[in-house]
Every structure is written in C-alpha cells, then in structure tokens.
C-alpha cells in the first residue's frame, strides 16, 4: 500500500534493534484516513475467507482491525493486556513476548466475545517474529474458533514471522513489507 509506505518513508524512525517508530500515525496518534484505506485493502484481500469476527491485540491493532471490520461489516474483538473487573472470572488467556515492551504480556479475551465455531480473521499493526499473532491464534483455538486469515499493516520480513505463521495454512497479507533495517535505514520489498 503506497500511502502507508510513503508515511513510513517520511515519518517512520528506525530506532535500532528492529524497532520502527510509527507513533505519529499508527501507534500513539492514529491517522483515521490511513486506517480507513488500510481496512479497505484488508477487506478486499480477505473478502472470500468467510470471516465472522476480527481479532486483534490491544492497543495498536485496534484501529486497523476496526476499519477492516467496518469495511467487512464484522465485529471486532481485541485481546486485552490486563483483566478489567467487568470481565468474567473465566477467560481465555495466553502470554506473548512484546518486542517494544521488552517483556511478556498477557493477552486476554472474554468467552462472551470469542465463541466456538467463529471464523476468525486476525488483523494487527506489525508482523515481526509472529509471536503476538501466534498468541492470538492460541486464543482463537482455545475458544474453538477457526483461523481464516492473518493481516498486518507492516511486516518486517527479516524477523521470520511469516514463516512461523505458514503452518496455519491460511492467507497472510501485509500492506507494507520491510526487508531490512540495517545501518539506520528502512528498506522496503
């Protein structure tokens, strides 16, 4: 997606160690028009997978997931990273490493919103090692849901996440692929 690639080229910052700062339009301040178009792209790509629900992780995956849900007319559920008191005692929970937080984080979903038989499309901000997305897949599987596709705004191909996700046998789609972040540069596929 050229619009996203250009925003990364102009505003993205390579902070080293594989960290791409896109806080000005994805991760802290969100550009609604950019997310609208990202959702449109995901909806077009995944239109035939039969999804009944979109699943993402708190917080940066919410905007692209919601816009995808808007274009596909599907509900969106996001895995919380802490359990609010409004959530039932029995929850679906898994752990996943967070590259930007430098520690393990919980991913929690209420069984009220992720049910047996759902056909789940996962949409997230980044596909790097694939660990967060694998955590979301575990949540879906624990609920008895079927994974039907995986989408990410930005894929860092050099971290091997796509290869880790191939075992699920579903389409994996990224809007922008970065092949290297060596020497302070950002190299696109």
Please identify every stretch of the chain with a pLDDT value under 70, giving residue numbers as ranges: 99-100
Task: Give residue 120's pLDDT.
Answer: 98
What is the phi/psi pair of residue 162, to 5°?
A: -60, -45
Q: Residues near 169 by Cβ (< 8 Å), separated by ≥ 6?
A: none
Range of the domain at 89: 2-188
* Per-residue model confidence (pLDDT) at position 168: 98
- Pick the closest to residue 21 from 30, 11, 29, 31 (CA basis): 11
pLDDT confidence of residue 164: 95
- CATH number reported for the structural domain that contains residue 63 in this entry: 3.40.50.2020
Query: What pLDDT is stored for residue 100 in this prediction?
Result: 67
Position 39 scores a pLDDT of 98
| Predicted local confidence at residue 141, as pLDDT | 96
Predicted pLDDT at 110 = 95
Instruction: For 132-159, write each residue's pLDDT tens digit.
Output: 999 999 999 999 999 999 999 999 999 9
Whether 50 and 44 have beta carbons less than 8 Å apart is answered as: no
Q: How many domains does the chain have?
A: 1
pLDDT of residue 24: 96
According to the model, what pLDDT value does residue 103 have?
82
Furthest CA-CA distance within the chain: 48
């Amino acid at each position: 997606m050229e619009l996203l690639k250009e925003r990364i080229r102009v505003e993205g910052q390579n902070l080293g160690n594989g960290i791409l700062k896109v806080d000005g339009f994805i991760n802290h301040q969100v550009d609604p028009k950019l997310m609208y178009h990202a959702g449109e792209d995901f909806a077009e790509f995944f239109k035939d997978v039969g999804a009944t629900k979109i699943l993402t992780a708190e917080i940066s995956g919410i905007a692209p997931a919601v816009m995808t849900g808007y274009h596909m007319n599907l509900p969106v559920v996001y895995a919380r990273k802490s359990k609010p008191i409004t959530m039932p005692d029995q929850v679906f929970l898994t752990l996943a490493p967070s590259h930007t937080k430098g520690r393990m984080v919980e991913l929690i979903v209420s069984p009220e919103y992720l049910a047996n038989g759902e056909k789940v499309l996962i949409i997230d901000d980044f596909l790097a090692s694939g660990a967060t997305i694998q955590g979301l897949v575990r949540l879906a599987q624990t609920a008895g849901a079927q994974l039907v596709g995986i989408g990410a705004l930005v894929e860092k191909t050099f971290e091997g996440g796509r290869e880790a996700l191939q075992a699920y046998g579903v389409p994996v789609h990224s809007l922008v692929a970065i092949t290297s972040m060596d020497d302070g540069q950002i190299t696109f596929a």
